[in-house]
């Protein structure tokens, strides 16, 4: 949901591509990962290497980490560390976790389905559907909200810090979407709408409210009707005000932070249980690797949108530089070996990413149950993300 490592991620991917270097495969005897089908020359994700990458994340300080990789041969899974620090319960690759901003891909798909039905236009303004909610709402379009080119300031960083540094009871406040927008509505736009790209969770809260205004239903109802039920995503939830996660689950943790947002020394905070309403359309999603991969396969396989709208959704912003680029509810990783489409998510308790090749045939998910991670953990997580990305594309070549 928040994007603390975006610049580092882009730099890491660019550096790895320029160097042409990938980690050497781990010794086969060290592998704990398992594969659902027999090995094949087509499989380029080595289970030992996958396990090594996750072990490095845990060795750097994360409680646990998991990965899920699917290709033409089958599924490879791996996990390291623990899902629960108190009990020592092992991390697994099939557990529920908070997926954060991966929700944006589902919300954007609902919006584009409404566009396909003629109920919305990408050029409709915020003022058209939500009069008075934003002083400059007549200058901001739905497409700009979806692409993070609206200039609407992001409310989320301050709420994240408040949740992590404030009194425990503050974690259970219920926020309405209108209250979230109101946190920044009196601020001027960060730039002239449409002239730059800057990640804004507020934009997706506005998009969610537009969906409700256009349909007369709640956003959760539209997500269930249009995506979750048709695709059989039984392990995916849009909880709004529900405090916990369904079992089996990973517990989520964070490094403690000061009221100014600085990382502090001390025991990790258990932030599994809280009211996730502050993230709403921007990142209020609980899911599993298997469910999220199924969604992206259906999306990229053309089951959810007409071809022209899917192509538009996947087109990166001209103002978002490579190799990691924002599109319309999707994030795009460009490499010499090809393009990956999907989304990452950072939300109190978890960091994760789910990406696919353009045809949806090769996919991966990566998750660690730590948020506001120290630099060593971030570096190990990014190394895993970059290596898995490049291996996946290497295998698709």
- The whole-angstrom separation of Cα 164 and Cα 300 is 36
101 is catalytic: yes
Q: Are 10 and 333 in contact (CB under 8 A)?
A: no
Peptide bond into 204 cis (omega under 30): no
Strand ranges, E, within the chain: 34-35, 64-70, 75-81, 97-98, 253-254, 269-270, 286-287, 324-326, 331-335, 338-347, 350-357, 363-368, 370-371
- Spot the catalytic one: 12, 80, 101, 150: 101
Tell me the helix, strand and coil percentages in the chain, rounded to 5. 40, 15, 45
Contact partners, residue 387, CB within 8 Å, separation at least 6 = 16, 22, 23, 49, 53
Catalytically active residues are 101
């Amino acid at each position: 949901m928040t994007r603390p490592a975006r610049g580092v991620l882009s730099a890491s991917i660019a550096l790895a591509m320029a160097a042409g270097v990938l980690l050497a495969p781990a010794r086969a005897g060290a592998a704990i990962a398992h594969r659902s089908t027999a090995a094949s020359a087509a499989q380029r994700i080595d289970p030992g290497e996958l396990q090594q990458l996750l072990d490095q994340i845990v060795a750097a300080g994360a409680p646990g980490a998991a990965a899920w990789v699917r290709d033409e041969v089958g599924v490879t899974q791996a996990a390291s560390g623990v899902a629960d620090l108190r009990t020592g319960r092992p991390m697994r690759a099939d557990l529920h976790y908070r997926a954060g901003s991966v929700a944006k891909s589902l919300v954007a798909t609902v919006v584009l389905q409404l566009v396909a039905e003629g109920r919305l236009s990408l050029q409709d303004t915020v003022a058209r559907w939500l009069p008075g909610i934003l002083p400059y709402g007549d200058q901001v379009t739905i497409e700009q909200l979806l692409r993070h080119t609206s200039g609407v300031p992001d409310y989320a960083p301050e709420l994240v810090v408040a949740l992590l540094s404030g009194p425990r009871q503050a974690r259970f406040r219920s926020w309405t979407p209108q209250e979230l927008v109101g946190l920044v509505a009196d601020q001027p736009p960060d730039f002239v709408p449409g002239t730059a790209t800057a990640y804004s969770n507020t934009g997706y809260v506005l998009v969610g409210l537009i969906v409700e205004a256009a349909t007369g239903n709640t956003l959760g109802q539209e997500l269930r009707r249009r995506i979750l039920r048709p695709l059989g995503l039984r392990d995916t939830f849009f909880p709004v005000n529900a405090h916990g996660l369904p079992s089996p689950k990973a517990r989520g943790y964070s490094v403690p932070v000061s009221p100014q947002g600085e990382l502090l020394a001390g025991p990790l905070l258990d932030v599994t249980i809280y009211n996730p309403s502050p993230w709403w359309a921007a990142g209020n999603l609980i899911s599993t690797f298997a469910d999220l991969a199924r969604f992206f396969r259906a999306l990229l396989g053309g089951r959810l949108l007409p071809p022209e709208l899917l192509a538009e959704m996947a087109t990166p912003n001209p103002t978002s530089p490579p190799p990691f680029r924002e599109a319309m509810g999707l994030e795009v990783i460009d490499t010499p070996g090809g393009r990956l489409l999907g989304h990452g998510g950072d939300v109190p308790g978890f960091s994760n990413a789910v990406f696919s090749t353009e045809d949806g045939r090769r996919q991966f998910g990566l998750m660690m149950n730590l948020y506001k991670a120290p630099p060593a953990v971030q570096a190990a997580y990014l190394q895993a993300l970059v290596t898995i990305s490049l291996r996946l594309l290497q295998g698709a070549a």
